[in-house]
Amino acid sequence: MSKKPEEYEDIPGTWVFDAERARKGYHLNAFFYSLMSAANRAEFLADERKYLEKFPMTEAQRDAVIKRAWNTLLELGGVSYAVVKLAFTDKKSYQHMASKMAGVTESEYVNMMLAGGRSPDGWRSKSEKQG
Amino acid sequence: MAKIIAGIGTSHTPAIGAAVDNGKTGEPYWTPVFQGYEPSKKWMAETKPDVAIVVYNDHVNAFDFKIIPTFGLGCAAEFPIADEGWGARPVPAVQGYPELAAHMVQSLVLDEFDMTIVNEMQLDHGLTVPLTLLYGQPKAWPVRVIPLAVNVVQYPAPTGNRCFQLGKAIKRAVESWDEDLRVVIFGTGGMSHQIQGPRAGLINKQFDTAFLDGLTSDPERLAHIPPLEYLRDAGAEAIELVMWLIMRGALGSRVREVHRFYHVPASSTAVGHIILEVA
């Protein structure tokens, strides 16, 4: 038994954080949550691999953390509000993380936003995106 | 009798808080945002409500993934400020109103809205940025705050209609409190934005404008926007706008728009703001 595909899975370039992703990402998100204390941030940065061993996540999740593979972290069950704590730990901003996810430089991203942001046209469904 | 006199819709973008905390409000990037809130600060200074119910969402700061309340009402006497990953914002702790919050819980549950009772909770930018925008940088917040945390982090968020109906129940709860209090309610978050994945940066001004218009002209229509429409048309994080519908539901049928502001961008977000007085 499994459920039918959700309509929101047809939105391109987006991972909706639902119950299934939350299940897969539980320990990954617990790691991000731990970065809310300065002591933990310092301990993590001193030896990332060792710190990550404390959380029973998958090796693929650990690798994505170390590589700062932001979209992979979403795909593997991270939720952006938690993932961003890793960017903050690196002294980077939300905007920095969003630009990496969008695959552009931070200044290109800022300029896109200053020009009014990304239009939803062409981004509402996977078929619209390809067509 | 306590009475809800006005509602405030506003974005709660963390970068806005950081701009204030780091003294950047005079920079060209930020000037338009803060100018847009000048009339609001004046309005707030003149209105001087006794209590603010602030509907907001926690961003994995008070609640990790062990427990995720759909609706959590803050019943503490004081709420500390969270360290979200870069140190806590340098803003005062928030003073609650435990007696009124406890009354609201009782009234709401008997009215068939099953609230989660939250007796300890750290507050993040979702609540503190709206206070900063409306009150500036006081040494202590000049209002008692009842936080109402709504889950919009893990899908599904409560529906727009559920939020709208909860707002109506909040109005009944407040009006059954026998103390002369002037209460405002904040609906925070949004407007259109997406801060994840290759589609990050999505903005939909047309959607946002229709939403702002609908708050006075046809809130029932807004209450029936399905979750997919927010996600698809206004960005994955635009679902936060359901929290504005709690605010709108609490104002009753007739409202008067006294201020509106809309600006793109603040970081990845369309900043939307409205003040509605009960007519």
B82 and A17 within 8 Å at the Cβ level: the answer is: no
Who among A15, A88, A116 is closest to B264 (CB)?
A116
B224 touches chain A (CB under 8 A): no
Q: What is the CATH number of the domain that holds B181?
A: 3.40.830.10
Q: List CB contacts (< 8 A) between B60 and chain A.
A: 29, 32-33, 79, 81-82, 85
Q: What is the pLDDT of residue B86?
A: 87
From B59, B103, B193, B273, the catalytic residue: B193
Cα separation values, B261 from B105, B197, B274, Å: 33, 28, 6
Q: What is the pLDDT of residue A1?
A: 59
Per-residue pLDDT tens for B168-179?
999 999 999 999
Residues in CB range of B47: below 8 A, 6 or more apart: B5, B6, B182, B184
Any A CB within 8 A of B258 CB: no
- Show the tokens assigned to A30: 């617990």
| Tens of pLDDT, residues B223-269 | 999 999 999 999 999 999 999 999 999 999 999 999 999 999 999 99
Query: What dihedral do alpha carbons B147, B67, A12, A91 form, nearest 10°?
Result: 70
**Closest partner CB to B203 (pick from A84, A116, A125):** A116
Give average pLDDT by consecutive 10-residue segment, chain A, 131 residues: 85 96 97 96 98 98 98 97 96 95 98 98 90 62
Sign of CA dihedral B169, B47, B21, B90: negative
Nearest to A118 among B64, B153, B203 (CB): B203
C-alpha–C-alpha distance, residues A31 and A41, integer Å: 11
Longest Cα–Cα distance of chain B, Å, equals 52
Q: What are the structural domains of chain A? A: 15-92 (1.10.700.10), 93-131 (no CATH)
Position B128 pLDDT exceeds 90: yes
Q: Which amino acid is at A114?
A: L
Residue B193 catalytic?
yes
DSSP single-letter state for residue A4: P
Q: pLDDT per residue over B40-79, tens digit each? A: 999 999 999 999 999 999 999 999 889 999 999 999 999 9
The percent helix, strand, coil of chain B (3-state, each to 5) is: 35, 25, 40
B186 neighbors B130 (Cβ within 8 angstroms): yes
What residues make up the domain containing B23?
3-278
CA-angle at B250, arms to B17 and B258, nearest 5°? 65
A114 touches chain B (CB under 8 A): yes
Judge whether A12 and B199 are in contact, CB under 8 Å: yes
CA–CA gap between residue B143 and residue B96 (Å, rounded)? 9
Looking at residue B71, its pLDDT comes to 98
Write down the pLDDT at residue B190. Answer: 95
The residues in B 225-244 lying below 8 A from A, measured between CB atoms, are 227-228, 231-237
Q: Number of folded domains in chain B? A: 1
Burial, B179: exposed, middle or buried (Cβ in 10 Å; 0-12, 13-18, 19+)? exposed
pLDDT tens sequence across B137-146: 999 999 999 9
DSSP H or E segment with residue A67: helix A59-67
Tell me if A117 and B202 make a contact (CB, 8 A cut-off). yes
Please choose, from the candidates B130, B18, B111, B119, the residue with its C-alpha nearest in 3D space to the C-alpha of residue B76: B119
Q: What ipTM goes with this model? A: 0.94
For residue A8, list chain B residues with Cβ-Cβ distance below 8 A.
Answer: 155, 227-228, 231-232
pTM: 0.97
Rounded CA-CA distance B266/B245 in Å is 22
Q: Are B199 and A123 in contact (CB under 8 A)?
A: yes
Would you call A94 an interface residue with chain B, using a CB distance cutoff of 8 Å?
yes
CA dist A115 to A110, B11, B97, B193, B199, Å? 9, 19, 43, 14, 16
Give the 3-state secondary structure of residue B262.
Answer: strand
- Are A98 and B200 in contact (CB < 8 Å)? yes
- For B60, which of A18, A81, A98 is closest by C-beta distance? A81
**Interacting residues of B112 by C-beta distance below 8 A, sequence separation 6+:** none
Chain B interface mutation, best of A9, A10, A14, highest count of B Cβ atoms under 10 Å:
A14
Tens digit of pLDDT for each residue in B80-97?
A: 999 998 899 999 999 999
| Locus of tokens 């945390």 | B149
Contact at CB, B196 and A80, closer than 8 angstroms: yes
Outline where B48-146 has alpha helix (H).
98-110, 125-135
Looking at chain B, the number of H-run helices and the number of E-run strands are: 10, 10
Comparing alpha-carbon positions, the chain B residue that sits nearest to A103 is B198
Which site among A94, A106, A130 would you substitute to test the B interface, given the most B Cβ atoms closer than 10 Å to its Cβ? Answer: A94
pLDDT at B12 over 90: yes
Between the CA of residue A54 and those of A59, A68, A115, B64, B150, what are the distances in Å? Answer: 12, 18, 44, 17, 30
Contact B247, B241 (CB under 8 A): no
Question: Best interface-test mutation with B: which of A24, A28, A45, A95 has the largest number of B CBs within 10 A?
Answer: A95
Of A8, A93, A113, nearest to B228 by CB-CB distance is: A8
